[in-house]
Chains A and B, each alone.
Chain A
Amino acid sequence: MAKILNIQNLKKSYSSGSKQLTVLENISFDIEENETFAIVGPSGSGKTTLLGLCAGLDQADSGSVELCGTLINDLSEDQRALLRNEKVGFVFQDFQLIPTLTALENVAVPLELRGDKSATKVGKELLEKVGLGDRFDHYPSQLSGGEQQRVALARAFSTKPDILFADEPTGNLDEETGKRVVELLMELNADSGTTLVIVTHDMELAKKTQRILRLKGGRVLETINA
Chain B
Amino acid sequence: MPNQNSNFNKKANFNWLLKMAIRDGRASKKKLILFMASIVLGIAAVVSIQSFSNNLKDNIALQSKSLMGADYRIDMDNEPNERVQSIMDSLGSPDSEEISFASMAAFPGKKGTKLVRVRGIKGDFPLYGEMETEPVAAARNYLQNETALVDATLMLQLGIEVGDKIKIGEVTLPIGGSLKSVPGSAAIFSSIAPPVIIPHKFIEKTGLVQVGSRIGYNYYFKAEPSLNFEKFEEKIDPILDANDADLDTHKSTSERLGRRYENFGKFLNLVAFIALLLGCIGIASAIHIYIKEKLRSVAVLKCLGASRKQTFFIYLIQIAIIGLIGGIIGTSLGLVLQQLFPLILQDILPVNVEISFDLRTIFMGILLGILMSVLFALYPLMGTLYVSPLQALRVINNDGSKSTTAGILVLLGIFLFIFLFAFWLLEDWKYSVFFVLGIIITFSLLAGVANLFMKMIRKYFPSSWGFISRQSLLNLFRPQNQTLILVLAIGIGTFLISTLYFTKDLLLAQASLEEQAKSPNMILLDVQSEQQEQVAATIQANQFPVLENIPIVTMGVESLKGRSVNDIREDSTSTVNGWILQHEFRTTYRDSLIDSEVLEQGEWIGNKPANGPIPISVSDNFAKDAEVSIGDEVSFNVQGVLLNTVVGSVRTVDWSRMQLNFSVVFPSGVLEDAPQFRVLTTKVKDETGSAELQQALVSKFPNVTIIDLRQVLSLIEKILSKISWLINFIAFFSILTGIIVLIGAVRTSKYQRIRESVLLRTLGAKSDQILKILALEYFYLGFIGAFSGIILSLISSQLLGYFVFETSFIPSLIPFLILLPGIIILVMSIGLSNSLGVIKSPPLVVLRKELQ
Q: Which residues of A does B touch, CB under 8 Å?
A: 48, 51-52, 55, 57-58, 70, 75-79, 81-86, 88, 90, 92, 96-101, 105, 109-110, 112-115, 139, 141, 155, 167
Count chain A CB atoms within 10 A of each CB in B24, B296, B307 and give the residue with the most: B307
Q: Could you tell me the distance between the alpha carbons of A4 and B43 in the complex, rounded to whole angstroms? A: 57
Q: How far is the CB of B735 from chain A (nearest CB, A)?
A: 33
B389 interface residue (CB < 8 Å to A)? yes
Instruction: Given the known inter-chain contacts A48-B394, A100-B297, please indicate yes or no for A115 contacting B305, CB distance below 8 A.
Output: no
**Nearest B-chain residue to A84, judged by Cβ:** B305
Across-interface contacts of B8 in A (CB, < 8 A): 78, 82
B388 interface residue (CB < 8 Å to A)? yes
Q: Could you tell me the distance between the alpha carbons of A209 and B28 in the complex, rounded to whole angstroms? A: 41
* Contact present for A113 and B27 (CB under 8 Å): no
* Contact present for A109 and B392 (CB under 8 Å): no
From residue 379 to 414 of chain B, which have CB atoms closer than 8 A to chain A? 388-390, 392-394
Q: Could you tell me the distance between the alpha carbons of A52 and B1 in the complex, rounded to whole angstroms? A: 19
* Contact present for A105 and B23 (CB under 8 Å): yes
**Nearest A-chain residue to B298, judged by Cβ:** A98
Across-interface contacts of A114 in B (CB, < 8 A): 11-12, 305
* Contact present for B2 and A82 (CB under 8 Å): yes
From residue 185 to 208 of chain B, which have CB atoms closer than 8 A to chain A? none
Q: How far is the CB of A129 from chain B (nearest CB, A)?
A: 19
Given A76, A78, A100, which contacts B28 in the complex, CB threshold below 8 Å? Answer: A100
Q: How far is the CB of B314 from chain A (nearest CB, A)?
A: 11
Q: Could you tell me the distance between the alpha carbons of A85 and B297 in the complex, rounded to whole angstroms? A: 16
Instruction: Given the known inter-chain contacts A78-B309, A113-B306, please indicate yes or no for A70 contacting B296, CB distance below 8 A.
Output: no
* Contact present for B301 and A109 (CB under 8 Å): yes
Across-interface contacts of B13 in A (CB, < 8 A): 115
Q: Could you tell me the distance between the alpha carbons of A113 and B757 in the complex, rounded to whole angstroms? A: 42
Instruction: Given the known inter-chain contacts A98-B301, A110-B305, please indicate yes or no for A82 contacting B12, CB distance below 8 A.
Output: no
Count chain B CB atoms within 10 A of each CB in A55, A83, A85 and give the residue with the most: A85
* Contact present for A139 and B27 (CB under 8 Å): yes
Count chain A CB atoms within 10 A of each CB in B1, B305, B306 and give the residue with the most: B305
B511 interface residue (CB < 8 Å to A)? no
* Contact present for B388 and A58 (CB under 8 Å): yes
Across-interface contacts of A110 in B (CB, < 8 A): 304-305
B611 interface residue (CB < 8 Å to A)? no
Q: How far is the CB of B300 from chain A (nearest CB, A)?
A: 5
Q: Could you tell me the distance between the alpha carbons of A101 and B28 in the complex, rounded to whole angstroms? A: 10
**Nearest A-chain residue to B10, judged by Cβ:** A115
Q: Could you tell me the distance between the alpha carbons of A109 and B301 in the complex, rounded to whole angstroms? A: 8
Q: Could you tell me the distance between the alpha carbons of A105 and B23 in the complex, rounded to whole angstroms? A: 9
B725 interface residue (CB < 8 Å to A)? no
* Contact present for B4 and A51 (CB under 8 Å): no
B302 interface residue (CB < 8 Å to A)? yes
Across-interface contacts of B12 in A (CB, < 8 A): 112-115
* Contact present for B297 and A51 (CB under 8 Å): no
B144 interface residue (CB < 8 Å to A)? no
Q: Could you tell me the distance between the alpha carbons of A78 and B307 in the complex, rounded to whole angstroms? A: 5
Q: Could you tell me the distance between the alpha carbons of A78 and B9 in the complex, rounded to whole angstroms? A: 12
* Contact present for A90 and B392 (CB under 8 Å): yes
* Contact present for B296 and A82 (CB under 8 Å): no
Across-interface contacts of A101 in B (CB, < 8 A): 23-24, 27
Q: Can you list, as one digit per residue, whether each of B271-306 has a CB less than 8 Å from chain A (1) or not (0)?
A: 000000000000000000000000011001111111
From residue 14 to 51 of chain B, which have CB atoms closer than 8 A to chain A? 16, 19-20, 23-24, 26-28
B852 interface residue (CB < 8 Å to A)? yes
Across-interface contacts of B389 in A (CB, < 8 A): 57, 77, 81, 84
Q: Beyond A58-B388, A85-B305, A115-B10: 14 further Cβ-contacts under 8 Å?
A: A52-B390, A57-B389, A57-B392, A57-B393, A76-B4, A77-B307, A77-B389, A84-B305, A88-B305, A96-B392, A100-B27, A100-B28, A101-B24, A114-B12
